[in-house]
Structure 1
């Protein structure tokens, strides 16, 4: 039997690789998607082979990740529960898709993942497999009673790795889980499970990898320009870049100025609340700038309709329905809304804050001559027209007020009842 394991080299998948080989007497093929983990990938192949894998695929998917996953999500303005930029969520369908391709190439009967039985990732991985390769078996060790008996907690897993000589970053002192990609780094579990614990306190500075603390950021603000074309950022500070180049540049700029830190308690798809700490420097800047570009170029009703769908779109990404027909249909609508989202946004970055410092577009719907508080030289808008506009829109309010007043005056009498006259 061949099993392709989504392998990161972290605590969970290091233990799982060895356990799968023993449990199923199977050939384990490790798969790692390079989606921006940076130094985490160093020595990964050797580590996987030493831990028991017969092969280890490491595929560079960074450009595809930025172009086909992050950028469409930014176009949608997606943010989950008002705070989470969906960095982990958006990575899972790409990882699962690429893992399926390796399974097909190797003739594997099953794929496996290290997602816990309490989290969202198990759903995201398995919904993707169901949509793209329903014939493949999915093995989820964290839902196997035998695995849980052997490893009831992270401390037992850390001890196992120490016994086997498998190097991992987690320790008994700081056993939090970290997940990094081009969009963000997430931190959860361990010492972070107490929502009263201050993740941004000075003593926890060493936890963060992408951003400096805002109080340690430069005392001088930095200005940056982003050029957009049909809803996608194509250049930073006048330099044309690929989507991957955009993300790397903005991550560096945002990290330098302490931008994109979030500490939130979120609602998992499986029903429980969880506490997560996130660093999303580039994604936060891009999300903010994109909205500024839309404010200048997008029709009001189109914007309001799209905005009404943001919570739904964000849920689809968070829950794992990237390859669902409803997300694909919704994306087609999003693409249509972005046709005129073209122009330049100027931002000021300063100590964890992003401030707009200007925006312009060749297809701007903002017309100073019409919006001016001075005399309108175009006469495109006649203030006298507002009288009828307001009267018509106020009609239902006046009627409701009259009915309410009449009812209050005669509590037992319908407001529209006719007075009976004697003969």
Structure 2
């Protein structure tokens, strides 16, 4: 079963400590006869990571990396994405997609630090994550070797995975022996649920599945107001309290979650070609999106705002498909960031039973002019000017239909 040992001497594995990646760890050792370095990232998934270290040590791993990347995740990936008001296919806030380039980047960096000649991940051959990890790796280290066990091995069922684990003395928790009702991926921005019981797009998900949000029907009967301050497009404070990016998103998750805000059930188009049903919880991100658009509404020039809206779907698709480190994404980011220089202000939201309604917005330098929009008498706008404006814009229509 072993490949030529010279093919790979050392590999860095994205390791969660769960059953699947523990099997991959042993499979890499057996199949490639190589040394394995494990990398476990804390991006706010809410799990204790020290057990991953103990499992790796138990399996003979000498180089173990466990890193808290929460602040970097929000500051350098989530916030830049939210400056564009990014939604994939009009609905998905890209919670899983935006985490993958950060993990892929650290895999490559750790490979360089440890002298590894390969990286490995546990993404399946049917999904988007394999593309995201590998496009990131190739962009940052073009000569990197990538090992994707799910595309190589013949462990194609739960039973075969468990049999492999038992044959190699890998502990199998009782709750992992049966088929999981769905797959779950969590980070500080969201939780995603896919597969198994959710594969039928007509089947409603069980309410006890959700972890970040209460059922909107069970949310408080009294609305809650929240104010979010922005500086140059990034959120900096909640209800007047300045917070780091990671702590700010965590605070918004708590506030939005208790009001049932941020649940989405959708069928999306995967990059590999198939449609997939996913259910997502993104409470803090939902509040951020609404608040950011509100502040932009009083600070951005009309054409700058419309241009952002036009390029956003392209930008969202690049992130969804794994092209975070592509030159076109970086070029679009430069344009987006330029528009954010004036996006400083505050939005006030009213949260109630699953909804987050903007009820106020203000900015120290605002383009909103009460003098111009009032229906009362004013001295700054001559309504007679509108006649010529309309006739000039109608000229081509009149000529075309003469």
| Shorter-chain TM-score tier | over 0.9
8 Å CA contact retained: 2:230, 2:236: yes
Contact 1:342 1:362 in 2 (8 A): yes
Is residue 368 of structure 2 the alignment partner of residue 366 of structure 1? yes
In structure 2, the residue matched to 1:383 is: 383
Partner of 1:60 in structure 2?
Answer: 68
CA distance in 1, matches of 2:264, 2:247: 24
From 216, 240, 243, the equivalent of 1:241 is: 243
User: What CA deviation, in whole Å up to 9, does each residue of 1:120-163 have, x standing for no partner?
Assistant: 1111111111111112211111111xx1x2x1123433454466
Give 3-state SS (helix, strand or coil) of 1:234's partner. Answer: strand
1:69 aligns with 2:77: yes
* Secondary structure of 1:179's aligned partner: strand
The 5 A counterparts of 1:76-87 are 76-87=84-95
- In structure 1, how many angstroms separate the alpha carbons of the residues matched to 2:158 and 2:60? 21
Task: Give the corresponding residue for 1:279.
Answer: 281
Secondary structure of 2:237's counterpart equals: strand
The corresponding residue for 2:143 is 135
- The answer on 1:156 being equivalent to 2:160 is yes
Mapping of residues 262-341 of structure 1, within 5 Å: 262-341=264-343
What's the offset of the Cα at 1:49?
Answer: 2.6
Where 1:195 maps in the other structure, the secondary structure is coil
CA distance in 2, matches of 1:55, 1:189: 33
Paired residue for 2:400? Answer: 400
CA distance in 1, matches of 2:203, 2:164: 28
Residues 266 and 278 of structure 2 are in contact (CA less than 8 Å); yes or no, is this contact kept in structure 1? yes
Aligned to 1:260: 262
Query: Is the CA contact 1:296–1:364 (under 8 Å) kept in the aligned structure 2?
Result: yes
Rate the CA distance shift 1:368–1:162 in 2: closer, same or farther, 3 A.
Answer: farther
Partners of 2:239 and 2:328 lie apart in 1 by 36
Q: Secondary structure at the match of 2:381?
A: coil
Q: How does 1:218-233 map to 2 (within 5 A)?
A: 218-233=220-235
Q: Which one of 199, 203, 216 corresponds to residue 193 of structure 1?
A: 199
Structure number, greater radius of gyration: 1
Q: 1:12 aligns with which of 17, 20, 23?
A: 20
1:327-367 per-position Cα deviation (integer Å, ceiling 9, x unaligned): 11111111110011111111111111001121111111111
SS of the aligned residue for 2:383 comes to coil
1:98 corresponding residue in structure 2: 106
Deviation at 1:170, TM superposition (A): 4.4
C-alpha change, 1:167 and 1:77, in structure 2 (3 Å) is: same
CA distance in 2, matches of 1:395, 1:161: 75
Pairwise CA distance, 1:28: 1.2
* Residue 4 of structure 2: aligned partner: none
2:92 alignment partner, SS class? coil
Give the gaps of 5 or more residues in structure 1. 403-423
Aligned length: 392
State the shift of 1:400 in Å: 2.8
- Correspondence for 1:184: 190
Q: CA deviation at 1:399?
A: 2.5
2:12 aligned counterpart, secondary structure:
strand
Give the match for residue 115 of structure 1: 123
CA deviation profile, 1:243-301 (whole Å, cap 9, x unmatched): 11110100111111111111111001111111111111111110111001101110000
| Alignment gaps of 5+ in structure 2 | 1-8
Using the TM superposition, give the Cα deviation of residue 102 of structure 1 relative to its aligned residue in structure 2, in angstroms. Answer: 1.1
**Whole-angstrom distance in 2 between the partners of 1:19 and 1:253:** 43
Partner of residue 37, structure 2: 29
CA contact (8 A) 1:48 1:56 kept: yes
What CA RMSD, in Å, does the superposition of the two structures yield over aligned residues?
1.6
Q: Distance in 1 between matches of 2:259 and 2:159?
A: 36
Indicate if the aligned counterparts of 2:96 and 2:190 stay in contact, CA closer than 8 A.
yes
1:292 to 1:159, Cα distance in 2 relative to 1, 3 A: farther
Conservation of the 8 A alpha-carbon contact between 2:158 and 2:179: no
- Partners of 2:166 and 2:263 in 1: how far apart? 32
Q: Deviations over 1:153-191 (max 9, x none)?
A: 234334544663133854524342111111111111121
Distance 1:261 1:162, change over 3 A: farther
The 8 Å contact of residues 162 and 172 in structure 2, kept in 1 or not, is answered as no
